[in-house]
């Protein structure tokens, strides 16, 4: 049976991505055509959870006059919050103590009170799980995949990837020029915790000497051997692109140090090295490779980290098109009764995948993918 959606709300999950306005524009324009009302929830779900904090009540009308003035390359229409999780909202209780409260019930009630029939959420992987949980509690929603790492499965392209890729390529070009001039090997760390698409595709585009991705454990001795063959006095520079979630062979990683009694006393369940498991610490992968390579190659090795630089700027033409397309498609999903799905681009079609099926699905680089073959054909070391 077809849903009777009349009012939809749009929100953005945690983290900044350039060009989200284009998604909002796509959804708003498509909804207007159906005669639906569209509002934006400010700062994730905070506009609905804490309306008193906002002079305009936390919701923004996204009527034609507002949409007309939006810049499709920007991301300033609604704002984001550090977390989109209404199940663990950090608050100060009546006793002046900090605690994480489950405010999902409040959120759903406020959605009902505002007569919002469905929510379009522009989310990354973790946001999907949150929306799935809200869906289990009765929320109608459609998600739009947003990932600068392009690691969301089922869709060939997540919104934001093309912009991140373009910027990364630009920065790698500069790094290469600097390496060339300084006669050094630059190890540049780019985003990619579980999937190495950004490292691999940007590495191919700039003809890097080597690309290290999370999908293949890196043996730095082999990498050093490769660079020693390729980097000579006639070509005294190099460029290695590494994804921040890169994994390393056992030989590369030093064995964990015993835990001292002081350490146990200060932090009773501490184990191993201080950062041995922390992959969220940006710069660790490039630092580890650079430090180890230093002993293996005759040229100076220098680590560089792009990290959050990639998340800013203006959206590319490709992302603007994808954004408009995904936004409009999300409204089509609601109009066709495909609630509780995620919009996916499976060339040449736009399809809608049930949220439950999309959970925990990470789009990684297959070892024998075309991109890997291309890299190897071009003489780029991948470790495969």
Partner 1 sequence: MKENNSTNPTGRVLNIQGYCSDDGPGLRTTVFLKGCSLRCKWCSNPESIHPKPELNYDAKLCKGAAACGLCLKAPFPKGAFYTVEGADDKVLVNWDLAGECTEELTSLCPTDALSMFGKLMTAEEVIAQVEKDTSFYRNTGGGVTISGGECLLQPDFTAAILRLAHERGIHTAIETAGNVPWEFMEKVLQHVDLMLHDNKLMNPERHKKWTGVDNKRLLENFKKAYETFPHVEFITRTPLIPGINADEEHIRAVLEFIKPYKNVIDYELLPYHRYGTGKYEFLGKIYELKDFNPPAPELLAHLRGIIDEAFGRKTQEK
- 359 contributes a contact to partner 1 by CB under 8 A: yes
In this chain, which stretch among 89-97, 170-178, 299-307, 344-352 interacts with partner 1, using CB under 8 A? Answer: 89-97
In this chain, which stretch among 85-93, 103-111, 184-192, 321-329 interacts with partner 1, using CB under 8 A? Answer: 85-93
CB-nearer residue toward partner 1: 298 or 366? 366
Give me the least distance between CB of 124 and partner 1, in Å please. Answer: 12
C-alpha 321/C-alpha 208 separation (Å) is 29
CB-nearer residue toward partner 1: 27 or 241? 241
- 268 contributes a contact to partner 1 by CB under 8 A: yes
Judge whether 241 and 203 are in contact, CB under 8 Å. yes
Give me the least distance between CB of 225 and partner 1, in Å please. Answer: 20
35, 233, 269, 368: residue in contact with partner 1 (rule CB under 8 A) = 269
- 262 contributes a contact to partner 1 by CB under 8 A: yes
35, 52, 65, 98: residue in contact with partner 1 (rule CB under 8 A) = 98
* Residue 339: count of CB within 10 angstroms of its CB: 19
Rule CB under 8 A: which of 132-191 touch partner 1?
A: 132-133
61, 177, 232, 267: residue in contact with partner 1 (rule CB under 8 A) = 267
In this chain, which stretch among 49-57, 174-182, 314-322, 355-363 interacts with partner 1, using CB under 8 A? Answer: 355-363
Which residue, 345, 183, 366, 346, is CA-closest to 375?
366
180, 194, 252, 294: residue in contact with partner 1 (rule CB under 8 A) = 194
Judge whether 366 and 167 are in contact, CB under 8 Å. no
What is the contact mask toward partner 1 in residues 105 to 134, using x (rule: CB under 8 A)? ---------------------x--xx-xx-
Give me the least distance between CB of 59 and partner 1, in Å please. Answer: 25
Judge whether 242 and 286 are in contact, CB under 8 Å. yes
CB-nearer residue toward partner 1: 5 or 83? 83
Token pair 């700027």 is found at 313
Q: What phi and psi values does residue 343 have, to the nearest 5 degrees?
A: -70, 135
* Residue 49: count of CB within 10 angstroms of its CB: 20
Judge whether 62 and 52 are in contact, CB under 8 Å. no
Judge whether 212 and 285 are in contact, CB under 8 Å. yes
Instruction: Report residue 156 as tokens.
Output: 């060939």
Give me the least distance between CB of 264 and partner 1, in Å please. Answer: 6
Instruction: Return the DSSP state at 254.
Output: P
Write the CA distances from 366 to 145, 157, 304, 362, 369, integer angstroms: 20, 16, 26, 11, 5
Half-sphere exposure of 367 (CA within 13 A, CB side): 5
The site for partner 1 (CB under 8 A) is made up of: 85, 87, 90, 92, 95-100, 126, 129-130, 132-133, 194, 214-217, 247, 261-282, 356, 359-360, 362, 364, 366
């Amino acid at each position: 049976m077809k849903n009777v959606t009349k009012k939809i709300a749009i929100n953005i999950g945690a983290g900044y991505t350039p060009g989200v306005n284009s998604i909002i524009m796509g959804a708003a324009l498509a909804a207007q055509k159906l005669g639906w009302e569209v509002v934006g929830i400010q700062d994730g779900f905070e506009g609905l959870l804490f309306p008193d904090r906002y002079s305009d009540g936390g919701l923004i009308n996204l009527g034609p006059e507002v949409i007309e003035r939006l810049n499709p390359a920007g991301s300033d229409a609604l704002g984001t919050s550090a977390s989109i999780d209404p199940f663990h909202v950090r608050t100060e209780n009546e006793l002046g103590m900090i605690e994480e409260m489950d405010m999902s019930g409040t959120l759903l009630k406020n959605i009902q009170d505002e007569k919002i029939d469905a929510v379009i959420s522009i989310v990354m992987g973790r946001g999907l799980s949150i929306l799935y949980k809200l869906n289990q509690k009765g929320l109608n929603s459609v998600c739009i995949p947003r990932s600068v790492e392009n690691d969301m499965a089922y869709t060939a392209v997540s919104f934001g990837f093309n912009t991140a890729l373009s910027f990364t390529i630009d920065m790698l070009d500069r790094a290469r020029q600097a390496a060339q001039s300084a006669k050094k090997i630059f190890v540049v760390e780019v985003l990619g915790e579980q999937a190495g698409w950004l490292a691999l595709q940007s590495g191919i585009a700039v003809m890097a000497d080597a690309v290290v991705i999370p999908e293949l454990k890196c043996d730095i001795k082999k990498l050093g051997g490769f660079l020693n063959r390729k980097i000579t006095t006639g070509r005294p520079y190099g460029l290695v692109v590494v994804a921040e979630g890169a994994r390393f062979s056992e030989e590369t990683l030093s064995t964990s140090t015993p835990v001292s009694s002081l350490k146990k006393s200060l932090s009773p369940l501490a184990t191993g090295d201080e950062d041995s498991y922390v992959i969220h610490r940006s710069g660790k992968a490039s630092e580890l490779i650079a430090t180890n390579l230093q002993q293996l190659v005759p040229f100076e090795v220098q680590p560089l980290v792009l990290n959050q630089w990639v998340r800013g700027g203006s959206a590319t033409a490709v992302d603007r098109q994808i954004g408009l397309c995904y936004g409009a498609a999300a409204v089509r999903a609601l109009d066709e009764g495909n609630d509780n799905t995620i919009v996916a681009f499976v060339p040449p079609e736009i399809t809608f995948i049930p949220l439950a099926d999309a959970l925990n699905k990470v789009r990684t680089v297959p070892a024998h993918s075309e991109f890997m073959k291309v890299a190897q054909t071009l003489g780029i070391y991948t470790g495969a």
